[in-house]
Amino acid sequence: MTGRRLGRGVALVGAGMSKFGAFPGKNTRELFVEAYQEMTASLDKGFDPAAVEAAYIGNFSSELFEGQGHTAPIMTDWVGLTPVPATRVEGACASGSLALRQGILAIASGLYDVVLVGGIEKMTGLTTDGATDALATAADVTYEIPAGFTFPGMYAAIATAYMHEYGMTPETLLQVGIKNHEHGALNPKAQFGQRISAIMEARKASAARKGKPVPTWVTELDFLHDPAANPQIAWPLRLFDCSPVSDGAASVLLVSEDIARHYTDAPLHLIGTGQASDTALHGRSTLTSLPAAKRAGQIAYEMAGVTPADIRAVEVHDCFTIAEIVATEDLDFFKPGEGWKAAEDGLTTRGGARPVNSSGGLKSKGHPVGASGVGQVVEIFHQLRGSAGERQLPGAPNIGMTHNVGGTGQTCVVNIFERR
Ligand code: COA
């Protein structure tokens, strides 16, 4: 399905997100209002809500997490947009990107000129066990879950296969977590917006205050090697290899290219979009790559007419540290089996040759699953417009990419944006 083009150009003109984290007193509609208000404030030439013609809202499972279904019109109602058509879009952890795709297609088809896209999830109302069960419904409940798999378990299987095939050890995974916490420490919206060294020092100070034995960790690796601080979740994945259970919302405004400058002098152009699907993990011939991510990437690159070397900012779906390494290979930034070496050599840090997840990624920023894909777009919006504050990537990046994965890769979406 390569060689396809959009019927007309689509621009990204506004973006906003709530803080990601655990917010016991807030539901998704309140988080969505925060994201929407920040999005409207980002429209530097002002905004008339009456211009919005449709809304697509990514949400994995508000039924299981909040006991509330039918969430799209609730979101649009709370920001005063009824009666515009509001459609909920579900694709597990890729729900947000699927909502974005619906917005892109609706504008490209000529049906609408102005579309609101949102992503929402409120996960922390459940216990971790409850959230694990809810998330498990995005796996194959006939073949995978009865065999004892959870999401950490499935990504642990991917990590184990990768280590077996390419000789990586769990040490490299720790480096990905350290790097993403370093990036997230510069992101005020991040759930765990602290370097691991800061978390470590806070734990030592807390022990001292309480008169308990003070741990002897000196380096971040001392801390990460300590099973009391960084317990195994599903070998080889430990706590700091996992994205957290999160609440959050994100929102962007898409418009047809010809009217983009009515909203801002700095529109971003959607130049490539790819989506692909795959069999569940248990039925695949390889565990060390997500074929749907590769295919979605190839379609997006081809549509955009750019190569991996042209991508200057990228947010990839690091639901677990191994997922980031695999993503950097699936997107052809590194050859198969070399992503882990690149991570170890520091190439994916902010100052490296190929920075990945400047936002802190899902690991540090948080992973409210239905919001994550739209949250990635918010980061690329800021990086390409030079408004990412302290975490701004050097060199004024002009082309950025998002890579969002549903489940273990049954749904994958890749988008490419350009500042002209
Ligand atoms: N990374 C680092 N620290 C984390 C963390 C994470 N992912 N998750 C929780 N913590 C911290 C908490 O802040 C808390 O710290 P504190 O004691 O200083 O307050 C401590 O660890 C315990 O938190 P808790 O929520 O009780 O942890 P948990 O053991 O119940 O849950 C996981 C940890 C990893 C099992 C859970 O976050 C998880 O399931 N993550 C994966 C989610 C997922 O599968 N998403 C979909 C991906 S496809």
CB of 120 within 8 A of CB of 112?
no
Is the pLDDT score of 1 beyond 60?
A: no
Q: Which of 269, 367, 382, 403 is catalytic?
A: 367
What pLDDT, on a 0 to 100 scale, did the predictor assign at position 4? 85
Whether 396 maps to a domain, the answer reads yes
Q: From the CA of 50, how far away is ligand 1's center (Å)?
A: 41
Is the pLDDT score of 54 beyond 60?
A: yes
The helix (H) or strand (E) run that includes residue 381 is helix 369-385
Place of tokens 């459609």: 87
For residue 404, the tally of other CB atoms under 10 A from its CB is: 35
- Model confidence over 151-161: pLDDT tens digits? 999 999 999 99
Whether 64 maps to a domain, the answer reads yes
Whether 26 maps to a domain, the answer reads yes
Whether 335 maps to a domain, the answer reads yes
- Mean pLDDT across the stretch 309-320? 98
- Mean pLDDT across the stretch 12-27? 97
> Under DSSP, is residue 301 helix (H, G, I), strand (E, B) or coil?
helix
What pLDDT, on a 0 to 100 scale, did the predictor assign at position 316? 98
Side chain identity at residue 415, one-letter code: N
Place of tokens 């490419």: 416
- Mean pLDDT across the stretch 202-227? 98
Is the pLDDT score of 348 beyond 90?
A: yes
Which residues make beta-bridge pairs with 404?
A: 413
Residues 372 and 169: their CA atoms lie apart, in Å, by 28
Mutation test residue for ligand 1: of 133, 135, 192, 245, the one with most atoms within 8 Å of CB: 245
Side chain identity at residue 259, one-letter code: I
User: Is-catalytic flag, 367?
Assistant: yes
Q: Which tokens in the block code for residue 165?
A: 């095939």
Place of tokens 């990046």: 397
Is the pLDDT score of 234 beyond 80?
A: yes
CA angle 360, 364, 366 (to 5 degrees): 110
Whether 140 maps to a domain, the answer reads no
Q: From the CA of 178, how far away is ligand 1's center (Å)?
A: 16
How many distinct structural domains can be found in the chain?
1
Give the chain's mean pLDDT. 97
The total number of residues written for the chain in this structure? 420
- Mean pLDDT across the stretch 289-306? 98
Residues 92 and 73: their CA atoms lie apart, in Å, by 20
Q: 359: domain range?
A: 10-127+244-419
Burial of 305 (0-12, 13-18, 19+ CB in 10 A): exposed
What pLDDT, on a 0 to 100 scale, did the predictor assign at position 55? 98
User: Is-catalytic flag, 242?
Assistant: no
Q: Which residues line ligand 1 (CB under 6 A)?
A: 93, 128, 132, 135, 151-152, 192, 233, 239-240, 242-245, 319, 367, 369
Q: Which tokens in the block code for residue 106?
A: 């609706």
What pLDDT, on a 0 to 100 scale, did the predictor assign at position 3? 76
Residues 132 and 136: their CA atoms lie apart, in Å, by 6
Residues 41 and 17: their CA atoms lie apart, in Å, by 11
Q: Which tokens in the block code for residue 122?
A: 């409120």
Q: From the CA of 243, how far away is ligand 1's center (Å)?
A: 7
Ligand 1 nearest-atom number relative to CA 93 = 48
- Mean pLDDT across the stretch 289-303? 98
Q: Which tokens in the block code for residue 101?
A: 């795709």
Give the chain's end-to-end CA distance (angstroms, integer): 27
Q: From the CA of 244, how far away is ligand 1's center (Å)?
A: 5
Residues 209 and 101: their CA atoms lie apart, in Å, by 51
Nearest to 266 by CA among 416, 394, 417, 117: 417
CB of 14 within 8 A of CB of 44?
no
Ligand 1 nearest-atom number relative to CA 320 = 47
Mutation test residue for ligand 1: of 128, 133, 238, 408, the one with most atoms within 8 Å of CB: 128
- Mean pLDDT across the stretch 207-235? 98
Q: Residue 308's domain is classified under what CATH number?
A: 3.40.47.10
Whether 172 maps to a domain, the answer reads no
**HSE of 111 in the Cβ direction (CA atoms, 13 Å)?**
11
